[in-house]
Amino acid sequence: MNNKDLVILCNLRSDSRMQLTQMSKRTGIPVSTLHERIARQDYIKRFTIVADFARFGFDTKVHALLCVKQEDKDAVKEHLLNSPYVNTLCRINNGYDYLLEAYFCNLAQVEAFFEHLEKNYKIRSKVIHYILEEIAQEAFLSRPSHADWASGRGSGHNVKWIQMD
């Protein structure tokens, strides 16, 4: 991926509904080139939205770490993949097996969800974090200014991005 593709990606991540003419004005890349590059980009998995689940009544968001006994790992994974509450599921390391992000209407649903897991599967340990405020979401490579940084793969040449204030 070259710098021009990174500029396109960063602009799409900041506003995926931006018209190509507007992106062309911002980037200086001709509309025909933008259209061609977006059409052939195999690094975009899918076009999606970022929903405000609280507006649908799902006010309680949690991130949870689960450590599961070996014999139940596949069953727990399958259960979580099929749960309507689970938005994201990751296999992780360092003492835990899964990291999940889930949305619930209230704390009672959270408790019932994890009680059901512990009752039906061999959960060694769990850590639940209630998300009080989401400060940034989908921010990685979401600004056109990030393209130069990313073209160096985030290291060395542009240290200002990793220095603390």
**Is 158 within 8 Å of 148 (Cβ atoms)?**
yes
Instruction: Enumerate the domain spans of the chain.
Output: 1-50, 53-130
Task: Name the strand (E) or helix (H) holding 63.
Answer: strand 60-68
- For the 53-130 domain, the top CATH level (class) is alpha beta
| 106: DSSP letter | S
pTM: predicted TM-score of the whole model, two decimal places:
0.77
Task: Name the strand (E) or helix (H) holding 127.
Answer: strand 123-130
Rounded to whole angstroms, the Cα distance separating 128 from 11 reads: 34
Per-position pLDDT tens, the chain of length 165: 688 888 888 888 888 888 999 999 999 999 999 988 888 877 777 777 788 899 999 999 999 999 999 999 999 999 999 999 999 999 999 999 999 999 999 999 999 999 999 999 999 999 999 999 999 888 888 887 778 777 776 555 544 544 444
CATH topology of domain 1-50: Arc Repressor Mutant, subunit A (1.10.10)
Q: Which two tokens stand for residue 98?
A: 């899964």
